[in-house]
Amino acid sequence: MPQYALELCDLSRHFQLKNGVFSAPTTLKAVDGVSLRIPPGETLGLVGESGCGKSTLAKMILGLLSPTDGSVLVNDQVISNGNRFALAKQLQPIFQDPYSSLNPRKTIRQIISLPLQLHKVGDKRSQQASVKQMSDLVGLPERLLDQYPGQLSGGQRQRVAIARALILKPSILVCDEPTSALDVSVQAQILNLLMDLKQELGLTYLFISHNLGVVEHLVDRVAVMYRGKLVEQGTREDIFRNAQHPYTQALLSSVLTPEPSLGLPELLDDSAWANAS
């Protein structure tokens, strides 16, 4: 058993922005010195406003972007380009938009079995068996397996994406806003499915979201990101009941309540947390 399923050491990603031919490029620190540890079996929620670097962080963990500085450790192994192929069996993503994450020209069966083919797991027959088993597990009716993604609803597509992510039996899932493209009733089904799978398969989740309601429902620990930095992390109770950092307090107070008579939340003064970071 590794000590940490996922460990980020001082991870940074800077972008050079060119403003024009004559002016000097400015540096955008999308992710700036983030350190994070997720023990096996834990669900960590990463929250923050749009553009705070959550998705850049996810891309670095998945190896889609190389970090400017720092390193990512998966099950205590440092990720480099050389062992990326092997790491696909330990770490898999679930993307935000199920309308763009499935190749529209492939059948559901081809999509779910692709990881097995790429990693040459078993023969044709055993691959088909595990596709069927996996689609049962995520609640995908078998008759949909020979359809194309365009014929499926958003929730069904996200189930396909989950099946594809799980078929190599990874221990860690990186969920980058897995429900934000779905409507509310379907969101709940997908979230419950993710939680059931965690119980059943003992998965570790990095759950990236801007939806605090979802995060509160699901996660064990919360990390709050603001302007590329991690400003606060703690257990769910710590963050939701007793937030220390002014940005976290502002973020929590901005959540819309389901009760219409309460009106819109009052925002805290901007300067309070801008100075603190």
In the chain, the amino acid numbered 18 is K
Any idea of the CA torsion for 117, 121, 124, 130, to the nearest 10 degrees? -100
Q: Is 118 in the site for another protein (CB under 8 A)?
A: yes
Binding to another protein in span 73-92, by CB under 8 A: 84-85, 88, 92
Q: How many residues belong to the chain?
A: 277
**Coil vs helix vs strand at 78:** strand
Q: Is 272 in the site for another protein (CB under 8 A)?
A: no
**Coil vs helix vs strand at 136:** helix
Strands 204-208 and 172-176: parallel
CB of 269 to another protein, least distance (A): 27
Q: Is 20 in the site for another protein (CB under 8 A)?
A: no
From 13, 54, 109, 164, residue interacting with another protein (rule: CB under 8 A):
164
Neighbours of 264 (CB within 10 A): 8
Closest CA to 2 of 47, 31, 38, 55: 38
From 11, 57, 62, 162, residue interacting with another protein (rule: CB under 8 A):
62
List all residues 6 or more positions away from 237 whose beta carbon is below 8 Å from its beta carbon.
none
Nearer to another protein, 73 or 168 (CB): 168
The piece of 124-132, 188-196, 225-233, 266-274 that touches another protein (CB under 8 A) is 188-196
Report the alpha-carbon distance of residue 240 to residue 175 in Å, rounded.
21
Q: Is 139 in the site for another protein (CB under 8 A)?
A: yes
Task: Copy the structure tokens of residue 213.
Answer: 């309601």
Q: Is 186 in the site for another protein (CB under 8 A)?
A: yes
CB of 119 to another protein, least distance (A): 7
Q: Is 63 in the site for another protein (CB under 8 A)?
A: yes
CB of 114 to another protein, least distance (A): 7
> How many CA atoms within 13 Å lie on the side-chain side of 113?
21
- Residues lying near another protein in the complex (CB under 8 A) are found at 62-64, 84-85, 88, 92-93, 95-97, 100-106, 114-115, 118-119, 139-141, 143-144, 153, 155-156, 159, 161, 164, 168, 185-186, 188-189, 191-193, 213, 216-217, 258
